[in-house]
Amino acid sequence: MSANSVSDAIPVVEADVVVVGGGMAGLMAAIAAAEQGASVALLDKAHPRRSGGAASGLDHLSVLVEPEKQMPRFLKRQAEVCGGLTDPRLPALFRHSWDVLMFLENIGVKVRDSRTGELIWIAAPIHLGEKLTVSLEGGDLKIRLFETAVRRGVNIYARTMGTGLLTSGGRVVGATGLNVRDGTFLAFRARATVVATGAILRMYKAVADLRFNTHHCPYCTGDGQAMAYRAGAELVNMEMTTMQPSPKGYSVAGISGVVSMGAHFVNALGERFMARYDPARMEIAAKSTMALAFLTETKEGRAPLFVDFRHLTNEQRELLLRGFREERPTILEYFGQKNIDIAQQPVEFELHEYFGGQGPGGGIKLAGESCESTVPGLFAAGDCTGGKGWPAAMGAMILGQVAGRNAAAYSRQTAPTPVDDEQVLRERERVFVHLDSRASLRWQEVEDKLKRVMSDYVGASRSEVGLKIALQRIAQLGEDISSIGVRNYHELGRALEVANLVEVSRLIAAAALERKESRLAPFHFRSDYPATDDANWLGFVVLRRENGEDVVSFERID
C-alpha cells in the first residue's frame, strides 16, 4: 500500500494490474498477469476461494481437442445459437480451450476418469455428434484457482466490492473499492485494469420469490458493466436476456449437464415435446429453443412439464449425480426434501427468471482478441462482456487468461498516472451517501419495484409502449437511489448493487426498444415486431454514455 493517500484519508494501493472480480475469469486474469511478471491486486466482494458463478464447483467444460479441424463447425453453430450476435474475432479464441483444460489439470482439478485416466466425453448441448464437452470433478475448481493465484503473488482484497473506475486522459487508470465488512474505502492505482464481475441477476422476479435463489450467483449484479459504462466503455447486446429450465420452485443451473446425460423433456401428455421445436437435436437444442418450447407448451395447455431420467442407465445416472455433487450439490438436497428418486419418477421443471450476460447476453464491448474494451487501459473478461458467443465457463477462463496476459503487456508499456484526488473523493461521497439509517427507503424496496417493472415490461413479451413505460419507471427508481439508507456496511454493499441493477436495467430496456425485431425469442421478443429481420438488424445495439446521457446506435456485423 502506498504511503501516499488521497487527502491523507483514503489509502492508495499501487499495482501494475488491478482485477475487479474473483470468479473464474477474474482469477484466471490475475494468474495470467502475475505469470507475466506484473504486480496484481484482485478485488472480490465475497472471497475468491468460493465466489462467483462457479462458487460451488463445475461439472463439465467445453473443449476443442483438434481446433483446426473442429473450429469451422464450432464457430458456425455458436453463431447460430447466438442469433448471429457474435463478434467474429472473439470465438476463435476458443482455440485455447485445450490449453486451459491442461492448466486446470496441472493445478489439481480432476479432469479425467480416476479409474481409466481418460477424459469422459458427454453429449455436447447444441453440437450433434461432436466431442466437445468433458465431464470433470470440479467441485474444488475455485479453491485450486485461488490457491494458484496466491502462489503467483496476487494480492487478494476479499470482501472488497469494486465501486468505480478511475480515469485520466481518456483511459482507465485504476479502480475504487469498498470493504463491505469494515467500511474501508480504497483507491487502486494501476497501469491496466481488468473487469470480470460476471453476469447480471436479481433484476427479474425469481421463480420461488426468494431474493437470492437465482439461476446463477445472485451477487453478480452488473457491477462491472455499470462501472465500465460510467467510465465511457461501450456495451453491446444488453437486450439479449436469457432463461433456462430449472426444477419447479428452485432456480438452479445445471440443465446442460442434465441434457448431456440424455434426459428427456416430457409434457403432461407424456410426449417428448422437443420434437416439435428441434427434432434433430431434441433436448440438446439451443437454450433459446428450450425456453420457447417450455413457454409454448405451458401456454397451449400441456403443462406441467417434466424432465425424465428413468430411462438412463445406472452409469449415466451416477455420472449425472456426480455432476450435481460437483457443481450444484444443493439440488440433491432439493430432491431429498421433495422425496424425489430420479430413477423412479420424472422431476417437474419450469423456466427460471431472466438474467443477462451468458451466451448471446450483453456486456462490455471488446475491441478485439486482446480483450481490451473501447476505453484504453480497461480490459474485460467473462460474463460481463458482450458479443463473445461461446460456452460460459470455458469462455470465462479463456477470456480471463487472454485479458490478464494483455493487461500485463499493456502495463509494461504504460507509465503510471497520478490518482485524481477529486475523482476519488467524489466516488467516496457517492458510495457513503447511503450510510444514513434515517433515509426513507431500504434497498429491498427499490429492488422489488425494479423486479416488477422488468418482469412486466421487459420480459418474455416486449413492445414499444411497454418498454417506454419501463424506461419511465426505471428513471424514477434511479432518482430514488440517493434516498436509500443503510444501517451497516453489509447493507451498503446491497444498496450499491441495487444502484447498479437499476442502471443496467435501464440499458437493457433502452437496447430492447432500439432493436425493432425479434431475435432468439423468447430472449428478445417484440410483439410489435415478431419476425427476425437480418436485413436490418443483424448486428449489435451499442450503448455508450456521452455528457451524462445514454446514446444508442447500431453496428452491423458483416
SS (H, E, C) 243-294: CCEEECCCCCCCHHHHHHCCCEEECCCCCCHHHHCCCCCHHHCCHHHHHHHH
Query: What three-state secondary structure class fits 463?
Result: coil
Residues 182, 188, 191, CA angle at the centre, nearest 5°?
A: 165
pLDDT at 168 over 80: yes
Residue 125 pLDDT class (50, 70, 90 cuts): low
pLDDT at 527 over 70: yes
Mean predicted confidence (pLDDT) in 451-479: 98
Q: Quote the pLDDT of residue 488.
A: 95
Q: Quote the pLDDT of residue 323.
A: 87
Per-residue model confidence as pLDDT tens digits over 333-347: 999 999 999 999 999
* C-alpha cell recorded at residue 40: 496484481
Q: Quote the pLDDT of residue 2.
A: 52
pLDDT at 129 over 80: no
Per CATH, domain 433-540 is 3.40.50.620: no
What stretches of 312-461 adopt beta strand conformation (E)? 347-351, 363-365, 378-380, 385-386
Residue 479 pLDDT class (50, 70, 90 cuts): very high
Residue 395 pLDDT class (50, 70, 90 cuts): very high
On average, the pLDDT of the chain sits at: 93
Contact 19, 155 (CB under 8 A): no
Residue 5 pLDDT class (50, 70, 90 cuts): low
Per-residue model confidence as pLDDT tens digits over 50-91: 999 999 899 889 898 888 888 888 888 888 889 999 988 887
DSSP string of 327-365, one letter each residue = H-THHHHHHHHTT--TTTS-EEEEE---BBSSTT--EEE
pTM over 0.85: yes
Domain 12-241+359-422 sits in CATH at 3.50.50.60
Per-residue model confidence as pLDDT tens digits over 255-298: 888 888 899 999 999 999 999 999 999 999 989 999 999 999 99
Query: What three-state secondary structure class fits 4?
Result: coil
* Domain residue ranges in the chain: 12-241+359-422, 248-351, 433-540
Q: Quote the pLDDT of residue 3.
A: 42
DSSP 239: T
Q: Among 187-196, 214-223, 293-302, whose mean pLDDT is lowest? A: 214-223
Which of 441, 445, 466 minimizes the C-alpha distance to 455?
A: 466
Per CATH, domain 248-351 is 3.40.50.1820: no
3-state helix, strand, coil in the chain (%, to 5): 40, 20, 40
Query: Which residues touch 72 (CB under 8 Å, ≥6 apart)?
Result: none
Which of 190, 184, 194 minimizes the C-alpha distance to 167?
A: 190
Q: Which residue has the higher pLDDT, 24 or 252?
A: 24
The answer for 21, left when phi > 0, alpha when psi is -120 to 50, beta otherwise, is: left
Per-residue model confidence as pLDDT tens digits over 485-497: 999 999 999 999 9
Q: Among 162-176, 240-254, 260-274, whose mean pLDDT is lowest? A: 240-254
pLDDT at 139 over 90: yes
Mean predicted confidence (pLDDT) in 101-114: 96
- By CB atoms closer than 10 A (0-12, 13-18, 19+), residue 162 is buried
Query: What three-state secondary structure class fits 54?
Result: coil
pLDDT at 104 over 80: yes
Q: Which residue has the higher pLDDT, 334 or 472?
A: 472
Q: Quote the pLDDT of residue 97.
A: 94
- The span from the CA of 37 to the CA of 399, in Å, is 19
Mean predicted confidence (pLDDT) in 39-53: 97
Query: Which residues touch 53 (CB under 8 Å, ≥6 apart)?
Result: 23, 24, 198, 199, 216, 217, 220, 253, 383, 392, 393, 396
pLDDT at 353 over 60: yes
Mean predicted confidence (pLDDT) in 355-370: 89
Mean predicted confidence (pLDDT) in 246-252: 89
Mean predicted confidence (pLDDT) in 145-168: 99
Q: Among 97-106, 280-289, 356-365, whose mean pLDDT is lowest? A: 356-365
Q: Quote the pLDDT of residue 438.
A: 76
pLDDT at 419 over 80: yes
pLDDT at 538 over 50: yes
- The span from the CA of 423 to the CA of 523, in Å, is 38
Residues 272, 278, 282, CA angle at the centre, nearest 5°?
A: 45
